[in-house]
Amino acid sequence: MTRGDIGAFVAHCDKVIEGEEDALLSDLTFAVKDIIDVAGCRTGCGNPDWLRTHEPAQQSAPVVRKLIDAGATMIGKTVTEEMAYSLIGENAHYGAPVNVNAPGRVAGGSSSGSAAAVAAGDAHFALGSDTGGSVRIPASFCGIYGLRPTHGRIPLEGIMPLAASYDTIGWFARDPAVMSGVAHILLDDWREPEILTRLYVPEDIWALADEAVQAALVPALDRLEALVGPHQGFLIGENGSIEPQAAAYMALQGREAWETHRGWVEAENPTFGPGIAERFRAIAAIADDEVARWTEWRGDFAGGLCGVLNEGAVMALPTAPCIAPFTGEPQGRLADVRKRILLMTGAAGHAGLPQISIPFATVEGCPVGFSIVGRRGGDEVLLDLARRLNPA
């Protein structure tokens, strides 16, 4: 397939910006999710009304400028789900980018175009965002690497916010060496990886995954144990339930998203596609006492998990509970998939922890991602483990 065949790139920004010569990332190309500013282009955020009501960016986001200064050539902007507010990879206005590694199935969202472009070989790497799993899930569904960095470690200037206390900027690549090269540019305070002494497995989260996914990732866990040592099982949920993972996320992220975009939504009355429209109606009704209750829960949860994942420790889990759904599945089925995903991705999001998805296995011919979560600021450890666990 060629670049035009997979529907990964937006039509309203065909700009190419050459990178500096003889720099660390020279000879590499990259794509940019269309919630990130590129000078001279409108940032569309997956919605035609947003595109229509916003002027072209005066300057590129710092993450884009840093990569160009480091030698990488920017080749275009990629399709995102509307307002970066979904995990599936189907945009009612711009379509579903093709997942070349799982034909007939979605690429995952909301960084669908970035993941699809990298999987198809149209770019060496691509920028995406991850609030509730929007890098991790497309990485798993498309069979590529994807990193959600420690929350707050990479500045978000020049990027459309969704929920500031969860938002991160991450990236995709097919090669762990490229993942690490990008990290050396975007992580200003690069640190040498520490020695790992403890490996944890959240047994209740593993149990959420389809049996075939669990079985496919046993060899990955075995290889990680060979590097770190035997794993210790524990339960991440409170009182025997992990349901709060998703409930807290939907309430807290939803309130932040509404506070961020309420003014624009009420002024413009934008046309949202299925799923997104219902989501914006729901978040407008989130009660203050619900936000207060889940804010307290999040503080307790994050403190407890960070107490486990401190220096020298990592946690392993499936990236997604299932393989990529088929395109065009009913909204009710996709809502169930989204909830299962949030139960798995919520831990890193609530606690602000870094998580990397490694393409390690297949089920029914479709990619399955293996994830490692590290301590706050432990991004380098995850990138090092991705290189050492490279199944190729």
Say whether 33 is catalytic: yes
DSSP annotation string for 257-297 = HHHHHHHHHHHH-----TTHHHHHHHHTT--HHHHHHHHHH
Region of 57 please: left (phi>0), alpha (psi -120 to 50) or beta: beta
Among 134, 140, 180, 357, which one carries the catalytic annotation?
A: 134
Helix (H), strand (E) counts: the chain: 12, 10
Say whether 134 is catalytic: yes
d(CA 288, CA 331): 28
Among 86, 110, 114, 180, which one carries the catalytic annotation?
A: 110
Strand partners, 234: 202
Q: Give residue for tokens 């970035």.
A: 114
Strand partners, 77: 32
Listed in sequence order, the residues at least 6 apart from 304 whose beta carbon sits closer than 8 Å to its beta carbon are none
Length of the chain: 392
Say whether 140 is catalytic: no
| Active site positions, annotated | 33, 110, 134
